[in-house]
Structure 1
Amino acid sequence: MIDAHTHYVPSDWPDLNEAVCPAPDWPWLKPVSERDAMIMVGSSEFRKIGAECWSPDIRRADMAESGVTTQVVSPTPVFFEYARSPREAAKVSRIFNDIAREMFADAGDEFLTFCQVPLQDTDLACEELDRSLANGHVGVEIGNHVGDRDLDDEGVLTFLQHCAAVGAPVFVHPWDMPSSPRLARWMGRWLAGMPAETHLSLLSLVLSGAFDRLPESLRIAFAHGGGSFAFWLGRVENAWHRSPHVSRDCDKPPSSYLGRFYVDSVVFDQRALRLLVDTVGADRVLVGSDYPYPLGETPVGQVLADADWLDDSGRALIRSGNAERFLGLT
């Protein structure tokens, strides 16, 4: 079983005030105990993490319990730094990409690392992707937007075209969700904001006609089951046919683009997984866990294991076949 959605955090990294430039809100790691730490952003606590974030040995033990043979290990989005200057973000990307390769250099095929790039600058993003691929990374994780620029932005499209040209799979993760008093309650930014962010970015690729401009060779996947896209595809389709206010910059109805992207299986519920498979197809769903964070699936693949309505072929595709194709292993 290939887990296509996991994250890492190093146990240490250079002081970004010295390595990049002085600033009051760089991320840094505050030790709590031998096995726990707190990610800080300036003076604010961001997230408490454990040693499984940086220890390949702990990850291996957890993988064995779930029957996972390979993890795709991606950055934690708080390190993207898209709001910084391009040169600053490029330095941060280089630091974390190099650390990730050092962390998992001796792991073989157990851990496949995805890099991060300064997506706010197309040339620097392409440059860092190429450097990282040469250094052992197998793909790239990007945030679903850069400020008000969504995935149909010209610069982002150029980067995605470059990913297709060099054969790099792209994993899109929601991040930088809107905040408000209403979303501050009950983890609303994560429980409502994240699914909405992914849905919006998929809409941007479909309705803008971006998928029509991107080569079909692009391998792109969206976290958390593609957000709320599968549930609301019917509404989007109806609006495309009937509403004069919906963009028709795409050549075909929205449902025609379902074969252009993958989604992971982090939906937790049989009804949600079945809707996902019925909508995008069993050949477009990847096992994903969001390991090692609390909102992830434990044990990994449980929602798939419980899917007695899936035939053996569909189960095999989701367990590993689709990930092998997405990652370019076959």
Structure 2
Amino acid sequence: MRRTAPGQGLTPVTGAIDVHTHYVPRGWPDLGTAAGGGDRWPWLRVTSERDAMIMVGSEEFRRIGADCWSGELRLAEMDRTGVAIQVVSPTPVFFCYDRPPEQAVRVARIFNDLALEICAADPSRLLPFCQVPLQDPDAARAELDRCLAAGHRGVEIGNHVGDRDLDDDGIVAFLQHCAERDVPVFVHPWDMPTSPRLGRWMAQWLTGMPAETHLSILAMILGGAFDRLPPSLRICFAHGGGSFAFWLGRMENAWHRRPDVVGTSSRPPSEYLDRFYVDSVVFDHHALRLLVDVVGVDRVMLGSDYPYPLGEHPAGQVIRENPLLVADERDALLAGNARTFLGLG
């Protein structure tokens, strides 16, 4: 765990880079027809020029606005909030990991091509990340390569495929391909467990998402994925890494005291902190200070979850106004670390 001293200055930093935003196109072909059958496909119920509802079959999933599909609106908001660059990633409801691979490929191609249209408003500032059919490593590699050739700058993946975590051999093979292509990977939680207890107070999002992200980092460490992957892999976990930073000491204690049951990693969890990044969307000054102290000031990047209501508005506020960070730390979190992660120099 790496601690740095807090400071007093609150000099604002412009030209920030937001590595965690999402898009939704304003429309797409009927997926049941395009993908080759099945039911409960996502579709968009457009209610006005500026509002729509994502539907999954007959059920309402999420209300969205034009900032999801309008590159021009995104750029205007970025100008207002001092954001120079956004990483524009899929909304996980479209991953389709539970579908047959050939259907997931068709869906990925549709949304990846539409993402390029949204980002065409300014490709130097809106950097598209693609989605891939992660349930089929060969198909995932092929779609990634197609997207890179078309202009995508990275890939967003979900944190699991059914019961397969990120230490699964097939997923590790895909991440190896990303490392070989020098492609940044953004990991987003999705498909959280449901139960009557989690159905209240948005508990799926308030407890399930942090737990899923924590579990995915755990799988990479204790499942030995980082030991099998090259250090050159650039991978970032959303939502501040979930609850990982707070419970690293518990993992460390378990690794040393119960090595017979805790994972297959060659080293204790604290020795893998230089293998991944996390975003900053933790909403609290003290939580962000803890995150920086645990994973390192060079491993945290601005993320806002724009444009969704549970995201940070304005982007980067918890970094810019944080009295527990010094100016150099704010610079690193707002842009410097993201430039390294994205390979921008």
Say if 1:183 and 1:248 are closer, same or farther in 2 by CA, change over 3 A.
Answer: closer
1:161: how far off?
Answer: 0.3
- Unaligned ranges ≥5, structure 1: none
1:151 aligned residue: 166
Say if 1:252 and 1:27 are closer, same or farther in 2 by CA, change over 3 A.
Answer: same
Pairing of 1:1-330 with structure 2 (within 5 A): 1-244=16-259, 246-330=261-345
1:170: how far off?
Answer: 0.2
| Structure 1 contact 208–247 (Cα < 8 Å) conserved | no
Tell me, in whole angstroms, the C-alpha distance in 1 between the residues paired with 2:310 and 2:180.
Answer: 34
Tell me, in whole angstroms, the C-alpha distance in 2 between the residues paired with 1:309 and 1:247.
Answer: 35
1:58: how far off?
Answer: 1.1
Tell me, in whole angstroms, the C-alpha distance in 2 between the residues paired with 1:245 and 1:35.
Answer: 56
Q: Secondary structure at 2:340's aligned position in 1? A: helix
Tell me, in whole angstroms, the C-alpha distance in 1 between the residues paired with 2:25 and 2:334.
Answer: 28
Tell me, in whole angstroms, the C-alpha distance in 1 between the residues paired with 2:81 and 2:142.
Answer: 37
Tell me, in whole angstroms, the C-alpha distance in 1 between the residues paired with 2:42 and 2:84.
Answer: 31
Identity of aligned residues (%): 66
1:65: how far off?
Answer: 1.8
Q: Secondary structure at 1:28's aligned position in 2? A: strand
Once superposed, which parts of structure 1, at least 4 consecutive aligned residues long, lie more than 6 Å away?
none
Tell me, in whole angstroms, the C-alpha distance in 2 between the residues paired with 1:38 and 1:306.
Answer: 34
Aligned alpha-carbon RMSD (Å)? 0.9
Question: Which gives a bigger RCO, structure 1 or 2 (Cα 8 Å, sep 6+)?
Answer: 2
- One-letter code of the match for 2:117? E
Tell me, in whole angstroms, the C-alpha distance in 1 between the residues paired with 2:60 and 2:45.
Answer: 9
TM-score by length of 2: 0.94
Q: Secondary structure at 2:83's aligned position in 1? A: coil
Aligned length: 330
| Structure 1 contact 143–174 (Cα < 8 Å) conserved | yes
Larger deviation, residues 195-204 vs 307-316: 307-316
Tell me, in whole angstroms, the C-alpha distance in 1 between the residues paired with 2:245 and 2:53.
Answer: 35
TM-score by length of 1: 0.98
| Structure 1 contact 8–73 (Cα < 8 Å) conserved | yes
- One-letter code of the match for 1:140? V
1:108: how far off?
Answer: 2.5
1:309: how far off?
Answer: 2.5
Tell me, in whole angstroms, the C-alpha distance in 1 between the residues paired with 2:119 and 2:212.
Answer: 30
